[in-house]
Structure 1
């Protein structure tokens, strides 16, 4: 606690209006070898001589504040991105203005693949929390892939992973009940957190209940009702965004 002191005289200084302008988004150089998510991002078997090439390719680490868009649907495609820390959601806006959540990206995962086909981003990517993003110019990445087979394999795997995730999401929406969808989503986030070295049983779910409903094709009220039901059955303990899985086998059995 600060102790009481005498009031100092007020000194008025001239302030340059330009100094009041918002500071630009901070961008720093990236070092893959020092990144906690390198086991998820970097290609397996990448030669030590090729690591500096990959680090040189990443032009910056961009800070994206919660609620800020990394890119918007319709933006020109120039870069792929990797989530260094934090999390983002991808979404598309329907003609009537409704948002449809299409994905949740966590640390170590790629963003921007939706722009490769047409050179235009099909989706928007918005930060769910303050996040840091590695920027990889796509043209330079293609050139590196021609030189390094492991980088080419990694890019192909990223594309394959996205196809598999989209197919899995179609199956969830098309064949599972609302309760099964919520359970499947919680188990998916649990598994992805475990892959990152975090607890699989307790995590902060940065998505809102409304976003979950949009992603799972159910209403906000249904999401809230199912989470309350899971809590009463002692499958989970939900305190706001903090989710603790109490009975993981019970969730899997749904």
Structure 2
């Protein structure tokens, strides 16, 4: 069988183990692994392999599992890659994609992802504590680097595109000063959203003002559960009305103009959100 040869490129390959985070390695190392998997004696440890155009998928019989190799993109070739021991620091939040190897069946099982916090480094593992005790890897679990990726930051109070909007920032500041809890949206596995105030510019071209909503379980309108259950719907409306009334009181005290946007299609009072404008001094 002919050996693998690399096409001209940037000198790096990306190596992915069991579907985890790709690691950058020199192309020479990637081609050496491909050649070893195609020829004896290395071929004896390979269950299946396919390769073409400097890319390969190798499924090993041993605890290496499934390995994918591909040329790095220009951006991947230029990125700064730290040594494994310096990728994360104690206290860093990470997403764990845990992989378990069954030595008897000689197979791998990939479990559900969860969010955790790095405790320490002890070569070749990072020790990560799960944020929820009922997740796989309860307590502290040793993780290889390819099982980890940085956790995305939670979105608190607003969405990233609006974080620098002057009026949005001013409303968030007024709410924080009044002790209002801000909603938090999380995109990390195993993490939940926090209920509270959520602020965005009033949508639509030419519209002025800022929209202040009360978010419940990641929804600024009725949740799916509320739409299917009358009791839950009434509870959410009551909670939303009360929260928005308290936001209005806090913002009026800070000088903001406040308008309650209510639904005209419900028998019981239902405030959907607030529309607010800056104090007169801020508009001058």
Above 0.5 in TM-score? Answer: no
- What TM-score do the two structures reach when normalised by structure 1? 0.26
Query: Which structure carries more helix by proportion?
Result: 1
Query: Which structure carries more strand by proportion?
Result: 2
